Structure 1
C-alpha cells in the first residue's frame, strides 16, 4: 500500500511538472521538460539509495555519504581547474569530458580512501573520521585557491558551489541514468544481504556473510552514486538525510526490499514537486536547493537533539 501510494504521488508530481504552465508546441515541451524530468529522477534515485545504504553500513541514521568529503572535493576540483586553465577554457570544456573527469576523480579518491583506511569493516568509524578530516583539508585548499584566482573568475566558483537544479546538463542524463540503473539493479539483488549487514558485523559473519568484502563493494557503489549526482548538479549535503529520515518514519521496517524503493520514490517526489513549485508557481524567485538543504539541516538538528534526549 505504501509503495503504491508513493508511485501514485510520483506519477502525479511528474504530470504536474510536465503540464503546469505548458503553452505552445507539445513536441518542444515534452523534449525540454522531459529531459529535465529524467535528470531529476536520476539524481533523486542516486541520492536516496546511496544515503540509505551508507547509513546501513555505518549503523548510524544521522550520517550521509557527503560526510566523506565528496562535496569539498568537488569544489576543490572546480577551483583548481579555473586556476590552472582559466575561466574561458573552463567554460568551453566539453560537458561529457568534465562530467567524466569529476566522476572518475571523486570515485578514485573514494577507492583510495577505502583501500588505505578500511583494512576491515570494523574500521568504518575510522574511515568516517578520516573522511571528515579530508573534507576539512579540501575546503581549506579550496579557500586558498579562491584567494589566488582572479576576482572576476571567482564568480564561476560561486555558481558551482550550490546544486543547480535550474541549469542541469541534460546531455549527460543518459550516461548518469545508465550508471544509476546499473547500481540500482545490483543493490536490489543484494537487498537480503543488506538486511543481514544491518544487524551488525558479528551477526552478519555468524550468518555466513563475508562482511568485509560486501562492505567494500557497497561503499564503492555508494561512492559511484554520490559522484554521479554531484558531478551532474553540484554538491548536495542534507537532501539525502531529509529523504532517509522520512523513509524510515513512513516505512516502519528494516527490510531493504522496502527501504530502497521507498527512498528512491520519496526522493523523486520531493525533488520534482519542489522544482515544480519554484519553477512554475514562484517563477524561479528562489532556489529549490537552498530550501531543500535548509530543511535537511533542520532534520539533522532534530535527529541529534532527539538522540541526546533518549
Structure 2
C-alpha cells in the first residue's frame, strides 16, 4: 500500500472518530451546549498533536536516535516544577486565582528560556556535541523532578489535590482564549519550518553526510531545537504533559511510512497523534466516566511501547 493511501486511511479514521466524538448523545435540545465545547476539545487535541508530532519526528532525526524524544530535555519536569513552586510558596489559591494568560506565558517563558540557556551554553559556546546536550537535559530534568517530588511530599493534602490537576494532560477544561494564541504560535512556526523538511531528509543520512552536502549543521540543529522547545512548551502549557505520546507517534509513523521523506513521516505522526488523543478522550468520558485522564491512558500505552522498543533495539 502506498504512503498516500495510508495517509488517506488515517484521515478517514480521524473524520469518523471526530464525528463520533462530536455528535455522540447529541439531540436538538442540547446541541447548542455540547457541540461548541466538544469542538474546542478537538481543536486543542489538534494543536497538541501537531506540536508533539513535528517535534518528536524532527528531534529523532536531529539526534539520529529512534528512542529519544523532546521529553529528555526536561521541559515536562520544568513545567511541573514551576507549578509546584507556585503552590509551595504562594498556596493553591494563587495557582487557582492567577489568570490563564499569566500561567500560560509564565510556563512557556520559563521553558523556552531554560532551553535557550541549555542550547547556547552547551551546544554553541562550549562547543559540545549534541549528545552531551541531551545528557545534560536528562540530568537537569531529573534534578527538577527530584525537587518537585520533595515539595509535593511536604505539601498540605488539600493543596496537593489542586496541584494534581496540573500533573496530567487533560482536554476537559481548556481555556478558549489560549487556544487562539497557541494556534497562532503553531502556524507561525509551521511557516518558519516548512522549508526545513528537505534538509531533515538530508540530515537523516547523518551529521557528516549532511555537512558534506552543504548543510550548516550547527545553525540548522540549533534553529530546530529552539522550534521544538517552543512547540513542546506550547503543548505542555495548554493541556499538560504527555510524556510518552511523542515516542508513540514517531515510532508508529516510521513503521507505517516506509520512506525517508519527512513530509510523509511528520504528517503521519500528527494524524496518529490526533487519532490517538481523540480516542483517548472519548474513552475517558464514556468508558472511565472521567475517573482517569487522557494523559494517564496515553502514558500507560506509550510506556509499554517504549519498553518494547528498548528490547527490540537491544536485540539488534
Instruction: Judge same fold: TM > 0.5, yes or no.
Output: yes
Which piece of structure 1 moves more, 274-283 or 2-11?
Answer: 274-283
Matches within 5 A, 1:221-260: 221-260=227-266
Aligned to 2:105: 100
Which piece of structure 1 moves more, 282-291 or 42-51?
Answer: 282-291
Shift of 1:285: 4.1
Three-state SS of the structure 2 residue aligned to 1:190 is helix
TM-score (norm 2): 0.93
Three-state SS of the structure 2 residue aligned to 1:62 is coil
1:21 to 14, 20, 25: 25
Whole-Å separation in 2 of the counterparts to 1:187 and 1:292: 27
TM-score (norm 1): 0.95
Whole-Å separation in 1 of the counterparts to 2:78 and 2:238: 14
Q: What stretches of structure 1 of length at least 5 have no aligned partner?
A: none
Aligned to 1:133: 139
Aligned to 1:41: 46
Shift of 1:159: 2.2
Aligned to 2:13: 9
Q: What stretches of structure 2 of length at least 5 have no aligned partner?
A: none
Whole-Å separation in 1 of the counterparts to 2:121 and 2:34: 49
Shift of 1:298: 1.1
The 8 Å contact of residues 245 and 299 in structure 1, kept in 2 or not, is answered as no
Aligned to 1:201: 207
Whole-Å separation in 2 of the counterparts to 1:208 and 1:256: 19
Which piece of structure 1 moves more, 271-280 or 127-136?
Answer: 271-280
Which piece of structure 1 moves more, 168-177 or 72-81?
Answer: 168-177
Aligned to 2:75: 70
Aligned to 1:153: 159
Whole-Å separation in 1 of the counterparts to 2:103 and 2:33: 27
Verify: 1:164 aligned to 2:170, yes or no.
yes
The 8 Å contact of residues 188 and 257 in structure 1, kept in 2 or not, is answered as no
Three-state SS of the structure 2 residue aligned to 1:254 is coil
Shift of 1:194: 0.7
Compute the RMSD of aligned alpha carbons.
1.7
